[in-house]
Amino acid sequence: MGRFNLRKINELRFRKEYQIKISKMFAASENLNDKEDINGAWENIKENVTTLAKEGLGLYELKQQKSWSDEKV
């Protein structure tokens, strides 16, 4: 997994949309069964937040650096 492109968080429009999606996700998770174990609930929340971040933020593309062995001397 790569890094999220956090520069998009600075955009007000994106930030508002992301906050709304996260709020809806937590509202839906309040309806979970009381019998569900805490670890299962945590994994569900973590997966949802990660999915929303991937969809909204995207992944930061790292620049590929030349290997030191590829350089001509």
Domain count, the chain: 1
In a domain, residue 13? The reply is yes
For range 3-7, the mean pLDDT: 81
In a domain, residue 42? The reply is yes
4: Cβ contacts below 8 Å, ≥ 6 apart: 53, 54, 57, 58, 59, 60
In a domain, residue 67? The reply is no
In a domain, residue 10? The reply is yes
In a domain, residue 69? The reply is no
pTM of the model: 0.57
For range 33-38, the mean pLDDT: 68
**Structural domain containing residue 43:** 6-56
pLDDT for 42 equals: 84
In a domain, residue 66? The reply is no
pLDDT for 34 equals: 60
> Where in the chain does DSSP place strands (E)?
none
